[in-house]
Amino acid sequence: MSKNAFFVALILAASGLVSPPIALLGGLIYGFTVAHPFHVESKRLAKFLLQASVVALGFGMNLHQILQAGRSGFLYTAASITAAMLLGLGLGYLIHVGKKSAFLISAGTAICGGSAIAAVGPIANASEEEMAVSLGAVFILNSVALFLFPVIGYAFHMTQSQFGLWAALAIHDTSSVVGATAKYGATALAVGTTIKLARALWIVPLSLLTAVTLKSKARIHWPWFILLFCLAALLNTLLPAFAPTFGIDFRDKGRVLVASAAACRSFSGTAWR
C-alpha cells in the first residue's frame, strides 16, 4: 500500500498538476504517517531532481541579469550569512543546545538548508542524531516559509525583485526558494534563484574553514550544478532565437522538477527518521 501511494504521489508531482507547496505538504503527511519503502532511493532522487530543476531554470534566464542580481545581492548575502552564523551559535550557547547541533542548524540557516548541513556534518563528525535534529529544524521552517512567504509578500505589496531578494536571504533550501518565488512571479523567480545559488556557493569556504579548524580529512562536496546553471543561462543569452522556447519549456520543466523534488525530499523522511 505504501509503495503504491508513493508512486501515485510522485507521478502527480511530476505531472505539473500539483504545485510545489502542495507537493511538499503531501510529502510531509506521507513522511509522518507511513513507513517509507524507498528511503535511500528517494533521498538520492530528491537531490538529482533539485539540481536538475535549477539547471532547467537557468535556460529561462539571461546571464547578464544573473550577474547583475548576483552583484547586487553579494553584500546582503555576506552580511546575512555572518549574522546568522553568529546569532545561531550564540543562541545555541544560551539555550544549551549541543555545539555540533547548534553549528549545523546555524550553517543550514545561514547558507543553504539541508545541503549545507549535509556538506559540513561529516566534516564536523556529527552523529546521525545531530544530523537528524538539525535537518528536522531547518526542513520544518522551510515548509512553513514555502506557504507563508508569498502571503506576506502580497500583504506588504512587495515588488517581485524585493520578494525574490527577501526569499533568497530568508528561506533555507533552494527548492523552497524556487517554489515560493515561482508562485510570486517570473522576476521574483529569477532574482531569488540567482541570489540563492550565489549564497549556496558559501558552502565551499564554510566547509574548508570547518575542515581546517577541526583538522578533518573528510571530503568536501562542490556544488557543480551551479556551474551548469550558469552555462544554461549562457546558452540562453548567446542563442536569443531559442529564448522563447528556453523561457517557456525549460522554466516550466524546472517548476515541475521542483514540485517532484519537494515531494521526494519530504517523502524520504530525512528530517524525522
Does residue 29 lie in a domain region?
A: yes
| Gap between the Cα atoms of 203 and 206, Å rounded | 5
10-residue mean pLDDT profile of the chain (273 residues): values are 69 66 70 69 68 70 66 74 90 90 90 81 86 82 86 94 90 82 85 81 82 78 72 76 52 51 51 38
- pLDDT at position 194 is 81
Distances (CA, A) of 145 to 30, 72, 127: 19, 23, 27
Confidence (pLDDT) at 91? 93
What is the end-to-end Cα distance of the chain in Å, rounded? 20
pLDDT of residue 269: 47
Domain extent, residue 12, equals 2-267
**Domain assignment present for 69:** yes
Task: Quote the pLDDT of residue 273.
Answer: 37
In a domain, 180, yes or no: yes
Give the pLDDT of residue 90: 94
Task: Indicate whether 273 belongs to any domain.
Answer: no
Query: How many structural domains compose the chain?
Result: 1
Looking at the domain assignment, is residue 272 inside a domain? no
Backbone φ and ψ for 159, nearest 5 degrees, come out as: -70, 165
The H or E element that residue 69 is part of is helix 63-94
Sequence letter at residue 164 = G
Residue owning grid cell 523522511: 269
